[in-house]
């Protein structure tokens, strides 16, 4: 076993504290990684606080992992010691269902998540990236190109793929009018990607102070969503809207902004349901209300390669591990520009 240290939550209402634990010895197809950086996703907060009702403790969160390979199993062929690599939200899946066959492992009924999920190999629980080391099957390890800043690349492993995948699935490109709701970790990546794909990007925010940043990140227009007149000006005009908000809110405000056949895609996962949307808003223009979960491993690699080609990374605030509890409080106040990334050298 490999001894390591991280930060864990031991219950839904206590702070994260230092935690020592072990990683499994390498199997033939495993990659051992020294973790350098780990992004702080709002999902980490939802799960450590048991807002989704499925928490198991102790819980070491973290699924935006970047590090260096330190050892490989004898059957590993795609990585060598010293490579820069990433691990996202998944570390396993069944490998033989229609979803896995289609490279959509995130929709596999047996998808194994990076933390708060049973470890099917050791029989214990998976512990995530708020830690110094991790051992992951080669098939779930991603390559990070040399030109990307490693700390700023970490959020690509969740915030990046979660926004890139729906933009690809709904074929967003030049000539499309695309909305992004919420300028947080996911939202700021969605703005960058939609802009890079050539769309006309409108950012919806509850924080007027973020307007200038939104334009710098690639938004063509910014709408303060609390202002009904600004919202009205965009009625019936969007091809696609990606909603990243982590709290329940009125979805009709956004479905009414879609063109005929337009799609509002939800990626935010609030702890309480949204008010039920108006059916009339949907049927009279055949509008679509959809959802999307992260993205498959093949598409995550495509996204990382797209980022390397277009020089896209996350805008980050780096923190030492010891500041994680304060960072959570700031995320809850929408006060992060635009992703916290833990520097594991601090531990």
- Can you give the binding site for ligand NAP, defined by CB under 6 A? 41-43, 46, 158-159, 162, 182-187, 205-207, 210, 244-247, 249, 267-269, 292-294, 331, 334, 336
Q: Which does 262 bind (CB under 5 to 8 A by kind): ligand NAP, Zn ion, none?
A: none
Which one, 16 or 331, has the nearer CB to ligand NAP?
331
Residue number with the shortest CB distance to ligand NAP? 184
If one counts every other C-beta atom within 10 angstroms of the C-beta of residue 75, the result is: 10
Q: Which does 60 bind (CB under 5 to 8 A by kind): Zn ion, ligand NAP, none?
A: none
Rg over alpha carbons for the chain, rounded to the nearest Å, is 20
* CB-count burial class (<10 Å; 0-12, 13-18, 19+) for 172: buried
Residue 137: how many CA atoms within 13 Å on its side-chain side? 17
Which one, 158 or 336, has the nearer CB to Zn ion?
158
Which one, 32 or 225, has the nearer CB to ligand NAP?
225
Positions of E strands within the chain:
2-8, 17-23, 30-39, 65-72, 84-87, 90-92, 112-113, 133-137, 142-143, 177-181, 200-205, 221-224, 238-243, 258-266, 288-291, 316-320, 339-343
Select the span of 8-16, 43-51, 144-152, 201-209 touching Zn ion (CB under 5 A).
43-51
Q: What is the DSSP string of 199-251?
A: -EEEEEES-GGGHHHHHHHT-SEEEETT-HHHHHTTTT-EEEEEE--SS---T
DSSP strand pairing (258-266 vs 133-137): unpaired
Q: How far is the CB of 320 from ligand NAP (least distance, A)?
A: 20
Q: How far is the CB of 261 from ligand NAP (least distance, A)?
A: 23
If one counts every other C-beta atom within 10 angstroms of the C-beta of residue 50, the result is: 18
Q: How far is the CB of 275 from Zn ion (least distance, A)?
A: 25
| Candidate residues 31, 41, 191, 307; the one interacting with Zn ion per rule CB under 5 A | 41
* CB-count burial class (<10 Å; 0-12, 13-18, 19+) for 44: buried
Which one, 179 or 182, has the nearer CB to ligand NAP?
182
Which one, 29 or 334, has the nearer CB to ligand NAP?
334
- Bridge partners of 342, per DSSP, are 38, 319
Residue number with the shortest CB distance to Zn ion? 41
Q: Which does 255 bind (CB under 5 to 8 A by kind): ligand NAP, Zn ion, none?
A: none
Tokens 């939202």 -> residue: 187
Q: How far is the CB of 24 from ligand NAP (least distance, A)?
A: 26
43 lines the binding site for Zn ion (CB under 5 A)? yes
Q: Longest Cα pair distance anywhere in the chain, in angstroms? A: 63
Which one, 129 or 185, has the nearer CB to ligand NAP?
185
| Candidate residues 158, 191, 265, 336; the one interacting with Zn ion per rule CB under 5 A | 158
Which one, 8 or 40, has the nearer CB to Zn ion?
40
Q: How far is the CB of 110 from ligand NAP (least distance, A)?
A: 17
């Amino acid at each position: 076993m490999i001894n390591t240290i991280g930060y864990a939550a031991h219950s839904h209402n206590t702070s994260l504290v230092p935690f020592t634990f072990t990683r499994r010895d390498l199997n033939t197809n495993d990659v051992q990684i020294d973790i350098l950086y780990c992004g702080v996703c709002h999902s980490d907060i939802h799960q450590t606080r048991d807002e989704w009702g499925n928490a198991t403790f102790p819980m070491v969160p973290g699924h935006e992992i970047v590090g260096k390979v330190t050892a490989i199993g004898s059957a590993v062929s795609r990585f060598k010691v010293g490579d820069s690599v990433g691990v996202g939200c998944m570390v396993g899946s069944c490998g033989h269902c229609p979803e896995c066959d289609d490279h959509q492992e995130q929709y596999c009924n047996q998808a194994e998540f990076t933390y708060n999920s049973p470890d099917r190999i050791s029989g214990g629980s998976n512990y995530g990236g708020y830690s110094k080391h991790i051992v992951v099957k080669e098939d779930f390890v991603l390559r990070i190109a040399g030109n990307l800043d490693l700390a700023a690349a970490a959020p690509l492993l969740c915030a990046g793929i979660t926004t890139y995948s729906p933009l690809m699935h709904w074929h967003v490109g030049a000539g499309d009018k695309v909305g992004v709701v919420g300028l947080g970790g996911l939202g700021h990546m969605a703005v960058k990607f939609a802009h890079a794909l050539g769309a006309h990007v409108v950012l919806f925010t509850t924080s007027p102070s973020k307007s200038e940043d939104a334009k710098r990140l690639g938004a063509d227009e910014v709408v303060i969503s609390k202002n009904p007149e600004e919202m009205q000006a965009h009625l019936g005009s969007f091809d696609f809207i990606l909603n990243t908000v982590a709290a329940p809110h009125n979805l009709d405000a956004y479905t009414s902004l879609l063109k005929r056949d337009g799609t509002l895609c939800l990626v935010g996962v609030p702890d309480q349901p949204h008010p039920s949307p108006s059916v009339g808003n949907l049927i009279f223009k055949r509008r679509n209300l959809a959802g999307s979960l992260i993205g498959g491993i093949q598409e995550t690699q495509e996204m990382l390669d797209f980022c390397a080609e277009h020089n896209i990374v996350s805008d980050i605030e780096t923190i030492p591990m010891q500041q994680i509890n304060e960072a959570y409080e700031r995320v809850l106040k929408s006060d992060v520009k635009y992703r916290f990334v833990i520097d594991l050298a601090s531990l």
